[in-house]
Amino acid sequence: MAIPENVKGAVDIDPWLEPYAQVLSERRFLADRWSYEIKHATQDGSEQSLSQFARDSYKQYGLHANQDTKEISYKEWAPNAKRAFLVGEFNNWNPESHELSHRDEFGNFSQVFGPDPATGDFLIPHDSKIKVRFVLEDGSDIFRIPAWITRATQPSKDTQKQFGPTYEGRFWNPPAAERYSFKNQRPKFNLSRDSLRIYEAHIGISSPEPKIATYKEFTRDLLPRIKYLGYDAIQLMAIMEHAYYASFGYQVTNFFAASSRYGTPEDLKELIDTAHSMGILVLLDVVHSHASKNVQDGLNMFDGSDHQYFHSLAGGRGEHPLWDSRLFNYGSFEVQRFLLANLAFYIDVYQFDGFRFDGVTSMLYLHHGVGAGGAFSGDYNEYLSGDRSGVDHEALAYLMLANDLVHELLPDQAVTIAEDVSGYPTLCLPRAIGGAGFDYRLAMALPDMWIKLLKEKKDDDWDMGFIVHTLTNRRYAEKVVAYAESHDQALVGDKTLAFWLMDAAMYTDMTVLKEPTLVIDRGMALHKMIRLITHSLGGEAYLNFEGNEFGHPEWLDFPNINNNDSYHYARRQFNLVDDKLLRYRMLNDFDSAMQHAEMAHQWLNTPQAYVSLKHEVDKVVAFERNGLLFVFNFHPTNSFTDYRIGVDVAGSYKIVLNTDRKEFGGADRIDESQRFFTTDLEWNNRKNFVQVYIPSRTAIVLALDK
Q: Is the residue at 221 inside a domain? A: no
647-668: per-residue pLDDT in tens? 999 999 999 999 999 999 999 9
Q: Is the residue at 425 inside a domain? A: no
Determine the 3-state secondary structure of 677 from DSSP.
strand
- The residue among 127, 160, 178 that closes a domain is 178
- The residue among 178, 197, 216 that closes a domain is 178
Q: How many CB atoms lie within 10 A of CB 228?
A: 14
Q: What is the DSSP letter of 245?
A: G
Same domain, 58 and 36: no
C-alpha distance across the termini of the chain, in Å: 53
Q: Which residues are catalytic?
A: 358, 419
Average pLDDT over residues 58-74: 98
- Which of 702, 695, 608 minimizes the C-alpha distance to 646? 702
Tell me the C-alpha distance between 547 and 588, whole Å.
Answer: 9
Q: Is the residue at 406 inside a domain? A: no
Q: Is the residue at 168 inside a domain? A: yes
Q: What is the DSSP letter of 187?
A: P
Helices (H) and strands (E) in the chain, counts: 18, 27
Its sign, for the CA torsion 332, 334, 340, 346, is negative
Cα–Cα distances in Å, from 327 out to 249, 287, 549?
Answer: 16, 11, 35
Same domain, 99 and 72: yes
- Which of 480, 478, 453 minimizes the C-alpha distance to 467? 453
Same domain, 666 and 681: yes
Beta strands in 602-673 (DSSP E): 610-615, 620-625, 628-633, 640-647, 652-658
440-457: per-residue pLDDT in tens? 999 999 999 999 999 999
Same domain, 39 and 75: no
Average pLDDT over residues 78-88: 98
Where would I find the H helices in 460-616? 464-472, 487-490, 497-502, 518-537, 575-578, 584-601
Same domain, 157 and 61: yes
Same domain, 633 and 668: yes
Instruction: Using the predicted structure, report yes or no on whether residue 189 has a pLDDT greater than 90.
Output: yes
The CATH number linked to 624 is: 2.60.40.1180
Q: Provide the CB-side half-sphere exposure for 501 (13 A, CA).
A: 24
Same domain, 74 and 47: no
- The residue among 135, 160, 178 that closes a domain is 178
472-517: per-residue pLDDT in tens? 999 999 999 999 998 888 787 778 999 999 999 999 999 999 999 9
Instruction: Using the predicted structure, report yes or no on whether residue 531 has a pLDDT greater than 70.
Output: yes
DSSP 340-395: HHHHHHHHHHS---EEEETTHHHHHBTTTT-GGGG-----THHHHSGGGG-B-HHH
Contact 501, 460 (CB under 8 A): no
Q: Is the residue at 235 inside a domain? A: no
Reported as a pLDDT band with limits 50, 70 and 90, residue 337 is very high
Q: Give the distance from CA 541 to its chain's centroid.
A: 13
Q: Based on the structure, what is the number of domains in the chain? A: 3
Same domain, 101 and 138: yes
**b/e per residue, 630-669, with b = 16+ CB within 10 A?**
bbbbbbbeeebeebbbbbeeebebebbbbbbbeebbbeee
Same domain, 57 and 46: no
Reported as a pLDDT band with limits 50, 70 and 90, residue 161 is low
Q: Is the residue at 173 inside a domain? A: yes
Contact 487, 447 (CB under 8 A): no
Average pLDDT over residues 51-75: 98
Same domain, 81 and 92: yes
Its domain, for residue 80, covers 53-178
Instruction: Write down the pLDDT at residue 155.
Output: 85
Instruction: Write down the pLDDT at residue 164.
Output: 64
Instruction: Using the predicted structure, report yes or no on whether residue 263 has a pLDDT greater than 80.
Output: yes
Q: Which H helix or E strand runs over 10?
A: helix 8-13
User: Strand pairing of 688-694 and 640-647?
Assistant: antiparallel
Residue 528 has phi, psi (to 5 degrees) of -70, -45
136: left (phi over 0), alpha (psi -120 to 50) or beta: beta
Q: Give the CA diameter of the chain.
A: 91
Same domain, 135 and 67: yes
Residue 646 identity (one-letter amino acid): G
SS (H, E, C) 141-185: EEEECCCCCCCEECCCHHHHHHHCCCCEEECCCCCHHHCCCCCCC
120-152: per-residue pLDDT in tens? 999 999 999 999 999 999 999 999 999 999 999
Instruction: Write down the pLDDT at residue 143.
Output: 97
What Rg do the C-alpha atoms of the chain give, in angstroms? 27
Average pLDDT, the chain: 96
Q: Is the residue at 449 inside a domain? A: no
The percent of residues above 70 in pLDDT, for the chain, comes to 99
Instruction: Write down the pLDDT at residue 526.
Output: 98
Residue 513 has phi, psi (to 5 degrees) of -80, -5
Cα–Cα distances in Å, from 245 out to 202, 284, 488?
Answer: 11, 17, 16
Reported as a pLDDT band with limits 50, 70 and 90, residue 238 is very high
Q: Is the residue at 60 inside a domain? A: yes
Cα–Cα distances in Å, from 652 out to 422, 600, 689, 705, 706?
Answer: 43, 18, 11, 6, 8
Same domain, 117 and 45: no
Instruction: Write down the pLDDT at residue 706.
Output: 75
The CATH number linked to 92 is: 2.60.40.10
Residue 590 identity (one-letter amino acid): F
Reported as a pLDDT band with limits 50, 70 and 90, residue 162 is low
Average pLDDT over residues 184-188: 97
Q: How many residues does the chain have?
A: 706
- Which of 284, 290, 289 minimizes the C-alpha distance to 410? 284
Cα–Cα distances in Å, from 151 out to 102, 127, 133, 303?
Answer: 25, 8, 18, 20
Q: Which H helix or E strand runs over 215?
A: helix 215-217
